[in-house]
Amino acid sequence: MSVKAEEIESKTTDLTFRKYEDGDHAHPEWKDEIFQASWTHKCPTYVHRTPPCQGSCPSGEDIRGWLGIVRGMEKPPEGVEWQEYAFQRSTDANPFPSIMGRVCPAPCQTGCNRNAVEDFVGINAVEQFIGDNALDKGYKLAAAGEDTGKKVAIIGGGPAGLAAAYQLRRKGHACTVFDDHKELGGMMMYGIPGYRTPRDKLGGEIQRILDMGVEVRMNTWVGKDISIADLEKEYDAILWAIGCQSGRALPVPGGDAPNCVSGVAFLSEFNNKAKDSVPKRVVVVGGGDTSIDVASVARRLGYNHITEEQLKNSVQDNSSQGSQLGYVAHDAAELGAREGADVTLTSLFPIENMTAAEHEVQDALREGVDIQGSVMPTEVILDDQGRATGLKMVKCTLDSKGAPTAIEGTEYTIETDLVVSAIGQYGDFSEGLEELNNGRGFIDTDAIYQVKGREGHFVAGDIVRPHLLTTAIGQASVATDTIDHYLQHQEQTKRPKVDVHHFQLLAKLNETNLAPEEFVAEKAGDLRGTSDNNYAVHNYEDRSANDVIAPEALFLGHFPYEERKLREDMPVSSDEVLGHFGERIKGLATDEAVDEAKRCMSCGMCFECDNCVLFCPQDAVLRTPKKDSTTGRYVYTDYGRCVGCHICADVCPTGYINMGMGE
């Protein structure tokens, strides 16, 4: 035997522990390996994961975090009201809580683990409370960062552009927003009616962003009023957030008739106060939120059966009695001239599967909109002047990919005076922007929102792919991170698998003056046994960037049935809808918002229920001393007492405790 072989044999036989002995060739049963009567080799550790509400949120809000603040679990810093602290946490990702709490279709609520108990947490309702209260109290957004000397041009003042301006100012970069409208807001202002996005709330949330030092140039079309080349000379980076202002025409014969318009154009005219009535019969083709907005607006505007000339003559006849009487006569004549329009909305999908939010569909039905599902248009019927007088329809089925197939023998016609196509949108690349068009009406981008083939150009929002307002805001956050790396000449890094705003334990420890001590290697000596030192965060693992916690990981038996605290619905009937432009929901009061937030199950994060402390048979799980305790550091384990019985993990309602140490 060689000397080297003897050394290997010596090291092998001198080991005090071997996982497998010579001759072992099969793994033992896991139950024999893990459980030995009432103990195991495993001990608990505390694992932070992302809850599905945040994982489902396109803007990546720390929803669990601000719900925890509203419910009183996470305490604000000294001198800060909990309402303001919740606002700060909410707007870390999304600067529009008042508007999003009203109009977001809330994929977070669809993903909420509370659905496995009885019903989702009313996240939208609490967010609206946070936003409305912030406007009432005059709360400000986070302060702008220290000036970097870099300038960014943002083309488009909609949700993506404004959110990007907010995030870039926080990083210290100067911003100028260019927009071709007279007011900021984009789709929030011109694409959604004011009874859904109240203009005082929207204006207040926009002004907070401008107060951070954002420069604005309105009524400016980049490409015509200022060239792309000039922007490249003046600014260090350019973000394209121009949205999709052009609607798709009906792809059927006659779809280009003069009284066939897009949903985007219809709503833009209405929000610009250029439309105050509709024809007697209106057909809207769509099935999404835009089509619902068009139909609902049409029902509110109604049909004016007196012509402008007749109305003018009526006023002139009465004006001889005095100017004030003439004004009243005008109002009375106009009001008396209005009657409800017949509005039909058609969708390829069955009504229950339409992409519009369910409550918006129900509101539209209540308001008198005739919704017809599982049908498709085949032709626009034209008169001698080439104007639409009817829309040929046929019932249809959809295959697994959503492609429709007409059902033979089911054809019928809807008579109409106006056809509104709300079947999709694309960007307007006219007047100097042609070079940005990818040929399909959008701008090509990579995974981190850099414009392909154009260094220093970035993109976010609907011009990437039309989706939700909150999606545009989330894209703006990613794009601003990319821009920040670009401006600092840093390498672009891969985004995390779960790309949202997470709770940061180290940041919380710093906020509460509980930060770990500075680690000095020369003084630390032997690094074994670091649990006795305070230069590390012990028995805690952060998997939030990789894992979304499922309901199976929770102890659902902890949660009793508790009804959701609903916002007060103020429904509008078909008899009341004409001229009704008020809000349809009333926000939660403070106590209601707190109660609703308490329904949150705090998935993936300790919410201080004491189950693990109460049920541990070895008294091994203990409360962290109050002076050292904060969110995420409420309990700890004495591993000298722990026998690995798993009880603490079994009774943890939030899935925060995992048997992760040992095997």
For residue 265, what is the enclosing H or E element? helix 263-271
DSSP 628: G
Same domain flag for 416 and 433: no
| pLDDT band at 27; cut points 50, 70, 90 | low
Domain encompassing residue 437: 151-245+427-487
- Residue where a domain stops, chosen among 422, 445, 472: 422
Same domain flag for 223 and 182: yes
CA proximity to 502, closest of 45, 50, 46: 50
Question: Residue 301: what pLDDT?
Answer: 95
Same domain flag for 282 and 360: yes
Same domain flag for 465 and 375: no
| pLDDT band at 536; cut points 50, 70, 90 | confident
> What does the alpha-carbon distance between residue 196 and residue 193 come to, in Å, rounded to a whole number?
6
Question: Residue 374: what pLDDT?
Answer: 97
Residue 196 lies in a domain: yes
Question: Residue 41: what pLDDT?
Answer: 76
pLDDT per residue as tens digits for the range 585-608 = 999 999 999 999 999 999 999 999
Read off φ and ψ for residue 659, nearest 5 degrees: -80, 80
Same domain flag for 172 and 292: no
Among 30-39, 262-271, 352-361, 628-637, name the one with the lowest average pLDDT. Answer: 30-39
Share above pLDDT 70 across residues of the chain, in percent, rounded to a whole number: 88
DSSP 142: P
Same domain flag for 183 and 286: no
CA proximity to 365, closest of 350, 340, 382, 344: 344
E strand residue ranges, 325-462: 338-339, 342-347, 370-372, 375-382, 388-398, 404-406, 412-415, 418-421, 425-426, 457-459
Query: How many structural domains is the chain composed of?
Result: 2
Residue 142 lies in a domain: no
> What does the alpha-carbon distance between residue 290 and residue 284 come to, in Å, rounded to a whole number?
10
Same domain flag for 288 and 393: yes
Residue 324 has pLDDT above 50, yes or no: no
- Residue where a domain stops, chosen among 422, 448, 467: 422
Same domain flag for 232 and 374: no
Task: Kindly report the CATH number assigned to the domain that includes residue 360.
Answer: 3.50.50.60
| pLDDT band at 4; cut points 50, 70, 90 | very low
- Residue where a domain stops, chosen among 487, 506, 530: 487
| pLDDT band at 538; cut points 50, 70, 90 | confident
Same domain flag for 285 and 397: yes
More confident residue, 192 or 12: 192
Mode of pairing for the β-strands spanning 375-382 and 342-347: unpaired
| pLDDT band at 29; cut points 50, 70, 90 | low
Residue 157 lies in a domain: yes
Question: Residue 150: what pLDDT?
Answer: 98
Residue 531 has pLDDT above 80, yes or no: no
Residue 537 lies in a domain: no
pLDDT per residue as tens digits for the range 207-227 = 999 999 999 999 999 999 999
Residue 370 lies in a domain: yes
Question: Residue 8: what pLDDT?
Answer: 43
Question: Residue 639: what pLDDT?
Answer: 86
pLDDT per residue as tens digits for the range 295-316 = 999 999 999 876 545 444 544 4
What is the average pLDDT across 192-200?
95
CA proximity to 257, closest of 477, 500, 419, 59: 419
Residue 521 lies in a domain: no
Same domain flag for 351 and 283: yes
Question: Residue 234: what pLDDT?
Answer: 97
Question: Residue 306: what pLDDT?
Answer: 60
Residue 263 lies in a domain: yes
pLDDT per residue as tens digits for the range 58-76 = 999 999 999 999 999 999 9
Q: What angle do CA 633, 638, 639 make, to 5 degrees?
A: 120
| pLDDT band at 38; cut points 50, 70, 90 | low
Residue 23 lies in a domain: no
pLDDT per residue as tens digits for the range 131-167 = 999 999 999 999 999 999 999 999 999 999 999 999 9
| pLDDT band at 521; cut points 50, 70, 90 | confident
Question: Residue 447: what pLDDT?
Answer: 95
Same domain flag for 282 and 407: yes
Question: Residue 519: what pLDDT?
Answer: 80
Same domain flag for 264 and 156: no
